[in-house]
Amino acid sequence: MITVEDARKTILSHIEPLAPEKMYILDALGRYLAEDVHSPIAIPQVNNSAMDGYAVRSDDIVNPETKLTVIYDLPAGTLPKGPVGSNQAVRIMTGAPVPPGADAVVMRENTEESAHEVIIKTIPKKHEHIRFMGEDIAEKALVLKKGALIGPAQIGVLASIMCSMVHCHQRPVVAVLGTGDEIVDLDQDLSEGKVVSSNSYTLISLIKTIGGIPLYLGIAKDNRQDLQEKFSRAKRADLILTSGGVSLGDYDLVKKIMTSGENRMEFWQVEMKPGKPLAFGNINGIPAIGLPGNPVSTMISFYQFARPAILKMLGADNLMLPCVKAKLKTPLKKKTDRAHYIRGILRTQGQELVVSSTGPQGSGILTSMADANCFIVLPKETSSAEVNELVECELFQMASILPEQ
């Protein structure tokens, strides 16, 4: 057996980002940049008003109730008609360029207006309510780094600098294969002794969630011919994921195929629970991860190994699940033979993060994953964790971190 860290390192050493492709920015949502992006312009391009109000010379206003002459109006999208002189003001709208001579903007709410005059009721500070040229983005500045995930804010930034096309890494095609004579698909009869191939649908969903393109190969029976025929359909895949067939049973053939002919197995078995019977190698020249067959083991192994591999193909700069420390609310015990990944519920309690297990932790209890939003990670050498002890938590459902009821 090898450690989780060594297993992940081995897998990632055989994975490279896919080639970039050029695309329209709205098509790049959820993708990862294959290049640094620099701004050709400054944002804002000129000093402009952050408020509706009056552009003034701050030295003119030494007392409240100062009266100034309004020399013209300056809507957004227009240019100043002239400089602001002594005891003068310009009625200015948000986003309009600050006229020459003015060094502050007084909010409209702090004035008393008439047609050609304004009474300033507060003393402004120099530069108050002015957004300066390049305050957000300087000309030629690096605005987005290679490997950045493109979300709505990033698309807004790209649009603001007039960047309509970007290069992103291609999306990997990830083949998914269920294995086992006992497995049936959703359109087949669930007779006695059979189970639905829920792992396939879980994996397809996980692949879609992080930006991969799933290629469902169906279900392979426990014989070499059917397995090899299914693997032959994965020729256009960038990665193969199987569930089942990598343990010690007489009919666990994925591992055997991975070690036959020109195929290669890099390692088998990982020091983790659940998820120990995991294999990695290549099948028909394609990187392949043989995930264990129990539903929870499949999901945990995906998060630890397949997810980072897919993200690396996508060109992501961050491959790991976010990790935080939280106070434990339920005591935990384990053997010191392997690292344990315990399904947990992370919540806020006042100013603290607290976490508790979801209950029974059997590798076949898939509802424990549906209830969870994190993994409580207990290292190999740890035998127990007590209430109020700080434990490491890996988040996979960040949106579900809610206050404790």
The class (CATH top level) of 323-400 is mainly beta
- Other beta carbons less than 10 A from residue 109's beta carbon: 10
Return residue ranges of the chain for CATH 3.90.105.10. Answer: 22-41+139-169
Q: Alpha-carbon distance 170 to 149, whole Å?
A: 13
Identify whether the C-beta of residue 239 lies closer than 8 Å to the C-beta of residue 217.
no
Question: Which pair of tokens denotes residue 285?
Answer: 């020249």
Would you state the pLDDT for residue 362? Answer: 87
The gap from C-alpha 350 to its chain's centroid, in whole angstroms, comes to 26
The class (CATH top level) of 4-16+171-314 is alpha beta
Dump pLDDT digits (tens) for 85-130: 999 999 999 999 999 999 999 999 999 999 899 999 999 999 999 9
Would you state the pLDDT for residue 295? Answer: 93
> Which residues sit opposite 348 in a β-bridge?
353, 403
Backbone angles phi, psi at 259, to 5 degrees: -110, 10
Architecture per CATH, domain 22-41+139-169, reads as Alpha-Beta Complex (3.90)
Q: How far is CA 150 from CA 39, 315, 381, in A?
A: 16, 12, 39
Dump pLDDT digits (tens) for 171-208: 999 999 999 888 898 888 888 778 888 999 999 999 99
Return residue ranges of the chain for CATH 3.40.980.10. Answer: 4-16+171-314
pLDDT at 251 > cutoff 60 = no
Which amino acid belongs to residue 82? G
Cα torsion angle, 299, 300, 306, 310, sign? positive
Mean pLDDT of all residues in the chain?
A: 94
pLDDT at 266 > cutoff 60 = yes
pLDDT at 250 > cutoff 80 = no
pTM: 0.90
Would you state the pLDDT for residue 399? Answer: 66
Q: Alpha-carbon distance 120 to 115, whole Å?
A: 14
Identify whether the C-beta of residue 382 lies closer than 8 Å to the C-beta of residue 369.
no
Q: State the pLDDT confidence band at 11, using cuts at 50, 70 and 90.
A: very high
pLDDT at 244 > cutoff 90 = no
Identify whether the C-beta of residue 353 lies closer than 8 Å to the C-beta of residue 346.
yes
The CATH homologous superfamily for domain 48-131 is Molybdopterin biosynthesis moea protein, domain 3. (2.170.190.11)
Identify whether the C-beta of residue 391 lies closer than 8 Å to the C-beta of residue 352.
no
